[in-house]
Amino acid sequence: MKHIFKQGTDPNQPVLLLLHGTGGNERDLLPLAELIAPSASVLGVRGNVSENGMPRFFRRLAEGVFDEPDLIARTHELNAFLDAAATEYQFDRRNIVAVGYSNGANIAASLLFHDKKSLRGAILHHAMVPLRSIDLPDLTGTPVFMASGTNDPIVPRAESEELGSLLSGAGATVELHWENNGHQLTASEVHAAAAWFKNNF
């Protein structure tokens, strides 16, 4: 997978896995990483799917309707890539925290849904429920920060609440942060994520 790796100054910090939204790339969320954990190593990844020339992490059939077989396959693909990247760049595979926005947050949530060992924690900006057809693994002790918009036209409030409930029900420690905004990524939610990260890691 196309990616960028930046070695941090603190090897004990989790590696931040940056997962962009539709049309983004592996560098899009570098400013977020700088705000959340400036001393951490960073792994920015570009999605392998193209939708009208826009990179994504998995296919969709329509707005808000995921191609579930492709989502599952791409989730396993990303998980295997993280295994390989940990070996190549010599970081602790068990110490990765995902930072995802929109489509990137959705595949980060899917990693959690599929494999409790895939991520140590996650920051999910404007995420949807990736799948409703699988039983979640035991996520006890996994911290998750969710930022959602009360007026998000793509991710309804009930969708955010359902995702939070599913993760909590699997044992994850979920903090759900609300913004009185739509689907855009705001500075205030990033600062809230940074505060959450500092408290948890």
The residues annotated as belonging to the active site are 102, 152, 183
How many C-beta neighbours within 10 Å does residue 93 have?
15
Contact 22, 30 (CB under 8 A): no
Between the alpha carbon of residue 116 and those of residues 26, 60, 64, 94, 135, the distances in Å are: 24, 25, 25, 10, 12
Task: Report the alpha-carbon distance of residue 86 to residue 8 in Å, rounded.
Answer: 14
How many C-beta neighbours within 10 Å does residue 161 have?
13
Q: Write down the residue that tokens 């991710």 correspond to.
A: 155
Contact 157, 84 (CB under 8 A): no
Task: Report the alpha-carbon distance of residue 199 to residue 50 in Å, rounded.
Answer: 37
